[in-house]
Amino acid sequence: MQGPSKISVWNASGSTSSQQKFDVYFIENGGTPAFQTTTTIVANKLIKKNTYNYTGNGLLKVKFVSSSAISSANTNLYFYNILIESTAPATTPSLQLFSGANAQTVYPNQPISAITYKWGGTANAAAITWTGTTSGSTAPDGITVTTDNTAKTVTLSGAPSTAGTYEYSITATDGTNTTAALTGSFTAKTTTKIKMAYVTTVTNGVPSTTDQPFLTALATDFDLNYISSTATGVDYSYYDVIMQSAVPGSGDAGLAELKTKCLAKPFVQMKTFQYQSSRWNWMTPANTSQTTIVVPDAMKSHPLFNGITFSGDASNEVILTTATTGNMAVKVTAWVGTPSPASPTVLATVKGEPDPAYCYMEIPVGTTMSGMTAFNQYKQMVLGLSEAAWGSLTNEAITLAVNAAKYVVSGVNVPTNVKSATAKSVLSKEYYDIFGRRVTCEPQGVLIEKIIYSDGSSEFKKIQFSK
């Protein structure tokens, strides 16, 4: 069909139990299919009208591609009617943000996500002006501007090499008329804080509000970067530590990739169900309605519990949430397979649950979990607390999360403001079995080594002693 045109499509859902969705592509002048939108079809075999507008003057084809069903495996598409209406030819140039976010923040030499603008109507060219650079016509060092006159697009890509904020303004013209300017900016930031990739549900660059209690506390020492759990191909090499929230669904595409990517960075896992058999297949988790964890005496000096006030008759309990119903502490009842060279270190268990009920754990450096061909190069922590309880967190639960993030980066090359400035030496060493009982005889087998330093701090390592 010849543009400009309006395409109206009436669709019917294929069953009473599921919605469906399909992707719409425009193929302009025989070129490459350009993604337009994803459309959801209503359930219960109802008919829904969807309208798509093409404002260009070229020859257009429309391609409908079935996406995965939302709640069933049926992905057939049912078209009730399609109506094509020609509209009056454009008399003015047009310009739109076609893909990408027009406001981004990265670190120097970290690539931005490509930003593409598309002109249409009577426009035959586009121009971009910069502020924050050496001249208005010059892009920041490291940024490339690519103009495709056939596709009628302008794309910004690359990695800014110098810290700063760079703003731009783009217009389209037909030689006589010029569109109103569209603007955008990106910032290449520097920080003295620990650079954290916080993986969660992100909407328009904003993390889930459920995460906010943790984010507020983490912001003191960490420079937070919100990574969508659905984003794939994420390069985590620009960050000092990764923390996964319990909020996103464990089946999100980006979390499948994180299974191997987390091995190359200090990592804190707050979604124990990421380890279930249908996901990473490392552990067997289960929800509980318990609010409290129990810490063995041998583990109370672990850096995870710095600043924690213990409660209970034995002064070895930590209350995580004030919630009274729903899922609360998450326990692990078994490891999948046999972790090598030994199982993760259990730092706390769920009160009131039969053993085993592991809740807060450390995966020491060099551990190979089930199904993995590589081991973690840095410390990892597992914090078992359901996101359903995050609306009623105690200060202790929040402190534990901050402590966990600080602990996994300890000894790693991070900004100087978070390193210990005091030299320390080893005062003594103690050994415990995996249940937290102190070993006073000759060490044998797999034990936990507690190293006590001159500054009062301590560190735990898993050691294999030869018999």
Q: How far apart are CA 123 and CA 177, in angstroms?
A: 8
**28: pLDDT confidence band, cut at 50, 70 and 90?**
confident
Query: How high is the pLDDT of residue 420?
Result: 35
Domains of the chain: 5-86 (no CATH), 93-188 (2.60.40.10), 194-409 (3.40.50.880), 422-465 (no CATH)
Instruction: Answer whether residue 102 shows pLDDT above 50.
Output: yes
Residue 405 corresponds to which tokens in the numbers above?
């993030």
Query: Which carries the bigger pLDDT value, residue 351 or residue 64?
Result: 351
Query: How high is the pLDDT of residue 53?
Result: 81
Q: How far apart are CA 458 and CA 432, in angstroms?
A: 14
Query: How high is the pLDDT of residue 422?
Result: 39
Residues 6+ away with beta carbon under 8 Å from 394: 319, 320, 321, 322
What burial letters (b/e) apply to 6-43, b meaning 16+ CB within 10 Å? ebebebbbbbeebbbebebebebeeeeebebeebebeb
Average pLDDT over residues 81-92: 73
Q: Are 288 and 427 in contact (CB under 8 A)?
A: no
Q: How far apart are CA 192 and CA 46, in angstroms?
A: 56
pTM confidence score: 0.73
Instruction: Answer whether residue 209 shows pLDDT above 90.
Output: yes
Instruction: Answer whether residue 444 shows pLDDT above 90.
Output: no
| 219 φ/ψ sector (left φ>0, alpha ψ -120 to 50, else beta) | alpha
Q: What is the pLDDT of residues 401-416, one digit of tens each?
A: 999 999 999 876 554 4
A 10 A CB-CB count for 208 gives: 18
Query: How high is the pLDDT of residue 286?
Result: 97
DSSP assignments along 399-460, one per residue: HHHHHHHHHHHTTS---GGGS--S---EEEEEEE-TTS-B--S---EEEEEEEEETTS-EEE
Instruction: Answer whether residue 215 shows pLDDT above 80.
Output: yes
The overall average pLDDT reported for the chain is 86
Burial level of 264, CB count in 10 A (0-12/13-18/19+)?
Answer: middle
Q: How far apart are CA 395 and CA 330, in angstroms?
A: 18
Query: How high is the pLDDT of residue 327?
Result: 96
A 10 A CB-CB count for 359 gives: 29
Q: Are 19 and 55 in contact (CB under 8 A)?
A: no
**467: pLDDT confidence band, cut at 50, 70 and 90?**
low
Average pLDDT over residues 447-464: 66
Query: How high is the pLDDT of residue 309?
Result: 92
Lowest mean pLDDT among 6-15, 136-145, 302-311, 387-396: 6-15
Query: How high is the pLDDT of residue 418?
Result: 40
Instruction: Answer whether residue 421 shows pLDDT above 60.
Output: no
Q: How far apart are CA 259 and CA 269, in angstroms?
A: 11
Q: What is the pLDDT of residues 126-171, one digit of tens each?
A: 999 998 777 778 899 999 999 999 989 999 999 999 999 999 999 9
Q: How far apart are CA 254 and CA 176, in angstroms?
A: 46
